[in-house]
C-alpha cells in the first residue's frame, strides 16, 4: 500500500510523487453517523444518499495458560459493548500473518517497485490484496535525535530487516528533519529498505531545542542551545510539529482496515512553555481512527546524567550544580520528554521502550502484537457527534482466554449542520469535550502580574491566523465574526473563571487580512496555585473550531527572594483612555499588546514591560515622612538595577544601558515598574536569546530570565544608525522606570 502525506503540513514537505487520498466509507475508530438526504435527479426521480460509519477494533485472543493465539473463533463467539450498551456486530474478519502470500511487486529499473502501485491502481477495488500482512511504519524524528542516537536507531532497524523481517512484513520509512518526508513506501524488498535506512546513518541531528519559557536560567548552559528557530512563526509557543506529523501519517493510512504499527524513534518529545494539550488528543484520536498503534522508542537509550553536565553543553549558571538542583532539573527534563511518548503509546494500544540500549524488543513486540488478531466492527447505536470518549468492552463466551484490545475511541464532533439555536450548545459541548477541535489554529500566551498579596491579574492573549477567517463581502468591506469561549479550573477541577465573547470584524480588503493575524485579549484575577485553561474559538462562516488547552502555574511570590512579574514583549501599543482599567498592561492611556510568537521586524520597536515587587529598602537610607491622605507610603529608598541583553550563539551582541530605580513607582501594588523601548534597526535578522538582568542591590537577590525571540527583515529599507557603524546602539535608549 502507499503511504500518503497530507499537503498542508506546517513545515516544508518532501514529495516523491505522493498523492493525497481521503477515505470515503469505512474507517477505524469512527462511530456511526446515520443520515440520509433525497435530491431530485434530471429524470424527475430522487437519489437517496446514506452516510454510515463503522467502528473497528482489533481483538487479540490468547490462551491464559500458554499465551498462544486462539484461532478459529466465529462472530457469534464475541460480544461488544459501547459504554455498557450491547452493539450489533456488523463486520468480522481474522488476520493471520502465517497465511500471508508473497506480493508480486512489479519490476522497475531499481529492481522492485513499492506497494504504491497497488493502492494507486487497483487496491480500492481489491482490498484483500494486503490481507494477513503486517504493516509497519518506521518514523525517524531526526529533529530531536543526536548523531549517536540516529546511529543506534538505524543499526537496530537494519538488524531487524536483515535477521527478523518476515515475508508478511511490509515496511515504510518516514523521517522528519526540517520537514516530513516519505523516504520509502511500503515494501517487502529488504535491499530497498536497507538503502533507505542508510541515508539516515551519520546524519547530524537538526536539534530543534526549545526555549526556556519558564524564565529560570539556573542550571542552564550559557549558550544558545536553549532555542533554535523553526520555520514557523509560532515556534516559541507551539512545539507540536511531531504531533502534527503523526496525525498526518495516521490520516494517510485510514483507507486500510488492517492494524498498522508506527515505530517512532525519537530523542524525546519535550513540550515547552505553554503547551497545547489539545494537539496531543488530536494526534491520539487520528491514530485510533486509522487503527494505528504507536510504539515509542527513546533513541537516547540508557543515559548517565552528570550533575554538572557533559561536554556537549556549556558551563552551568548559578549554584545549581552544587546544590543538586541541576541534577533534579535534568531528571525532570528527561522524564518530561518521555512522558509524552508514553502517553501516545498507551492511548493508541502500543507500548513505549525507554532507558535501554537494546531496541530489538520494540520490533519483537510489534511482530508479537500483530501475528494474529480479529477485526470486529459495529455501527454505534449512539448517533450523537459530541466528541466524547466512548469506552469499549469486548467479551468472549469462554473464560480460559485473555483479550487484548483498545479501550475506546473518541466520537466525532460535527458542527457544520448546527441550527442557529443550537450553536451556543455546540460551543459549550466543545468546551466540555475530551476530543479537541483543530480545524482553526489557535495560539495562546498567559502572563501574570501581582495586584495584592494573594491576588494576581493573568492577562491571556489568543492569536488566530488571518488565513483561518472566512468573510462575507459587504460593499467595500468584508465582514466576519468569531466566537470565543474559555474557562479556568483550579487544581480541584472547579471553574474559577469564564469568558464568552463574540468578536465582529470589519475587514478592509486592502489590509490583506489573510497575511495578518487576529489577536484577542482577556484576563482573570487568580490566587497563587495551579490552574487549567481551555479556550475554544469558532469561525462563524464555516463553523470550524479550534481549541487550546494548557496548565498554568501562578507562583507564590512569598517564597521567592526576588519577586518578578512576567516579562511582556510587545511591538504594538494602542491608545486606551478608559477611566477604569484594572489591567497592568494599560499605562498612561496606552495599552501594551503582547507579541505572542516573539517574532519582530527590523523596522519595529521592541517594547519590554515588567515589574519587581517589594524590593528591599536600603538600610542606610532614612524613611520618608508620611503624606496626609495617602493610605500607603512609598517606603524607603530602594536600589533595583536592570538591563536587557541579546545573545547569539552564547555571545552577547547588544545590551541596553543599565537602569537604576530608587523608588517604588507603583505604591498601591508595591511594585517597581520598568518599561524599555529598543529599536530593532541595529539588530541583524536572526534568532536571539533575550536575557533580562534584574538585581535587587539592597536585598542581595537577582534573577536572569531568558526567552527566545526572532528578528525578521523589515518591509522598509533598513537604514544603518548614525551613532555607530560597528555595534548596535539604541538611539533613544530604554524608557526610564515609570
Mean pLDDT for 707-718 is 78
Mean pLDDT for 459-488 is 80
Q: Compare 430 and 228 and report the one with higher pLDDT.
A: 430
CA max distance for the chain:
99
Mean pLDDT for 207-212 is 38
Q: What's residue 367's pLDDT? A: 84
Q: What's residue 260's pLDDT? A: 87
Least confident of 123-137, 168-182, 532-546, 601-615: 123-137
- Does pLDDT of 333 surpass 90? no
Q: What's residue 327's pLDDT? A: 60
- Does pLDDT of 81 surpass 80? yes
Q: What's residue 132's pLDDT? A: 73
- Does pLDDT of 3 surpass 90? no
User: What one-character-per-residue DSSP string does 97-109 give?
Assistant: GGGPPPP-PPEET
Tens-place pLDDT, residues 294-303: 999 988 877 6
Copy the grid coordinates of residue 225.
542551545
* % residues pLDDT > 70 (the chain): 67
Mean pLDDT for 435-459 is 90
What is the C-alpha to C-alpha distance for residues 298 and 355, in angstroms, rounded to an integer?
A: 7
The pLDDT confidence band at residue 735, using thresholds 50, 70 and 90, is very low
- Does pLDDT of 340 surpass 90? no
Average pLDDT across the chain, whole number: 74
Q: What's residue 234's pLDDT? A: 42
Could you tell me which of 565, 569, 593 has the C-alpha nearest to residue 680?
569
Mean pLDDT for 179-204 is 80
What is the C-alpha to C-alpha distance for residues 20 and 696, in angstroms, rounded to an integer?
A: 59
- Does pLDDT of 326 surpass 70? no
Q: What's residue 304's pLDDT? A: 60
Question: Which sign, positive or negative, has the C-alpha torsion 250, 255, 259, 263?
Answer: negative
- Domains (range + CATH), the chain: 111-204+231-310+323-382 (3.40.50.410), 430-556 (2.60.40.10), 560-619+636-714 (2.70.50.60)
Q: Compare 4 and 385 and report the one with higher pLDDT.
A: 385
Q: What's residue 589's pLDDT? A: 85
Q: How far is CA 52 from CA 285, 327, 351, 379, 391, in A?
A: 19, 55, 32, 8, 20
Tens-place pLDDT, residues 624-645: 555 444 444 455 689 999 999 9
Q: What's residue 268's pLDDT? A: 76
Amino acid at each position: 500500500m502507499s503511504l500518503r502525506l497530507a499537503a498542508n503540513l506546517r513545515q516544508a514537505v518532501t514529495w516523491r510523487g505522493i498523492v493525497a487520498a481521503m477515505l470515503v466509507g469505512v474507517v477505524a475508530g469512527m462511530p456511526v453517523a446515520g443520515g440520509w438526504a433525497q435530491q431530485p435527479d434530471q429524470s424527475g426521480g430522487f437519489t437517496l444518499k446514506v452516510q454510515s460509519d463503522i467502528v473497528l477494533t482489533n481483538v487479540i485472543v490468547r490462551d491464559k495458560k500458554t499465551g498462544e493465539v486462539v484461532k478459529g473463533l466465529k462472530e457469534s463467539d464475541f460480544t461488544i459493548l459501547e459504554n455498557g450498551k450491547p452493539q450489533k456486530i456488523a463486520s468480522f474478519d481474522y488476520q493471520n500473518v502465517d497465511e500471508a502470500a508473497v506480493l508480486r511487486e512489479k519490476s522497475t529499473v531499481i529492481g522492485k517497485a513499492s506497494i504504491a502501485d497497488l493502492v494507486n491502481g487497483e487496491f480500492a477495488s481489491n482490498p484483500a490484496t494486503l490481507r494477513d500482512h503486517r504493516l509497519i511504519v518506521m518514523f525517524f524524528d531526526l529533529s530531536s535525535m543526536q548523531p549517536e542516537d540516529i546511529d543506534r536507531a538505524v543499526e537496530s532497524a537494519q538488524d531487524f530487516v536483515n535477521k527478523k523481517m518476515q515475508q508478511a512484513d511490509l515496511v515504510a520509512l518516514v523521517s522528519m528533519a526540517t520537514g516530513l518526508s516519505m523516504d520509502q513506501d511500503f515494501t517487502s524488498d529488504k535491499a530497498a529498505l536497507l538503502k533507505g535506512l542508510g541515508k539516515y546513518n551519520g546524519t547530524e541531528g537538526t536539534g530543534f531545542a526549545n526555549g526556556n519559557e519558564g524564565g529560570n536560567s539556573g542550571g542552564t548552559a550559557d549558550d544558545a542551545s536553549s532555542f533554535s528557530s523553526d520555520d514557523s512563526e509560532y515556534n516559541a509557543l507551539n512545539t507540536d510539529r511531531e504531533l502534527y506529523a503523526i496525525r498526518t501519517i495516521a490520516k494517510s493510512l485510514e483507507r486500510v482496515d488492517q492494524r498498522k504499527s508506527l515505530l517512532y524513534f525519537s530523542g524525546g518529545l519535550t513540550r515547552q512553555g505553554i503547551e497545547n494539550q489539545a494537539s496531543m488528543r488530536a494526534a491520539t484520536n487520528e491514530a485510533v481512527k486509522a487503527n494505528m498503534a504507536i510504539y515509542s522508542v527513546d533513541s537516547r537509550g540508557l543515559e548517565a546524567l552528570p550533575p554538572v553536565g557533559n561536554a556537549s553543553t556549556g558551563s552551568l549558571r548559578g549554584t545549581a550544580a552544587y546544590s543538586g538542583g541541576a541534577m533534579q532539573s535534568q531528571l525532570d527534563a528527561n522524564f518530561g520528554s518521555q512522558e509524552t511518548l508514553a502517553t501516545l503509546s498507551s492511548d493508541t494500544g502500543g507500548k513505549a521502550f525507554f532507558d535501554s540500549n537494546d531496541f530489538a524488543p520494540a520490533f519483537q513486540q510489534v511482530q508479537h502484537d500483530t501475528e494474529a488478531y480479529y477485526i470486529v466492527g459495529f455501527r454505534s447505536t449512539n448517533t450523537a457527534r459530541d466528541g466524547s470518549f466512548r469506552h469499549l468492552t469486548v467479551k468472549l463466551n469462554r473464560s480460559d482466554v485473555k483479550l487484548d484490545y483498545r479501550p475506546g475511541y473518541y466520537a466525532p464532533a460535527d458542527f457544520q449542520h448546527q441550527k442557529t439555536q443550537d450553536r451556543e450548545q455546540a460551543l459549550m459541548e466543545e468546551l466540555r469535550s475530551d476530543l479537541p477541535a483543530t480545524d482553526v489554529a489557535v495560539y495562546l500566551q498567559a502572563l501574570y502580574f501581582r495586584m495584592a498579596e494573594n491576588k494576581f491579574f493573568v492577562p491571556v492573549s489568543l492569536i488566530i491566523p488571518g488565513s483561518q477567517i472566512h468573510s462575507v463581502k459587504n460593499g467595500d468591506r468584508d465582514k466576519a465574526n468569531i466566537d470565543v469561549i474559555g474557562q479556568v479550573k483550579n487544581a480541584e477541577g472547579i471553574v474559577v473563571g469564564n469568558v464568552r465573547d463574540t468578536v465582529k470584524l470589519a475587514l478592509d480588503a486592502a489590509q490583506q487580512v489573510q497575511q495578518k493575524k487576529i489577536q484577542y485579549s482577556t484576563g482573570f484575577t487568580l490566587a497563587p496555585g495551579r490552574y487549567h485553561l481551555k479556550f475554544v474559538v469558532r469561525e462563524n462562516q464555516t463553523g470550524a473550531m479550534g481549541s487550546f488547552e494548557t496548565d498554568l502555574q501562578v507562583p507564590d511570590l512569598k517564597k521567592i527572594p526576588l519577586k518578578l512579574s512576567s516579562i511582556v514583549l510587545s511591538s504594538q501599543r494602542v491608545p486606551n483612555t478608559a477611566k477604569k482599567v484594572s489591567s497592568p498592561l494599560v499605562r498612561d492611556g496606552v495599552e501594551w499588546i503582547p507579541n505572542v510568537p516573539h517574532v519582530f521586524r527590523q523596522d519595529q520597536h521592541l517594547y519590554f514591560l515588567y515589574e519587581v515587587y517589594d524590593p528591599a529598602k536600603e538600610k542606610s537610607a532614612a524613611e520618608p515622612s508620611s503624606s496626609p491622605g495617602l493610605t500607603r507610603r512609598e517606603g524607603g529608598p530602594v536600589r533595583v538595577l536592570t538591563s536587557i541583553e541579546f545573545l547569539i550563539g552564547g555571545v552577547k551582541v547588544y545590551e541596553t544601558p543599565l537602569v537604576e530605580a530608587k523608588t517604588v513607582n507603583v505604591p498601591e501594588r508595591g511594585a517597581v515598574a520598568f518599561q524599555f523601548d529598543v529599536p530593532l534597526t541595529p539588530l541583524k535578522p536572526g534568532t536571539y536569546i533575550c536575557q533580562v538582568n534584574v538585581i535587587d542591590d539592597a536585598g542581595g537577590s537577582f534573577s536572569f530570565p531568558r526567552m527566545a525571540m526572532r528578528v525578521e527583515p523589515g518591509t522598509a529599507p533598513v537604514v544603518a544608525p548614525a551613532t555607530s557603524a560597528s555595534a548596535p546602539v539604541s538611539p533613544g535608549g530604554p524608557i526610564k522606570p515609570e
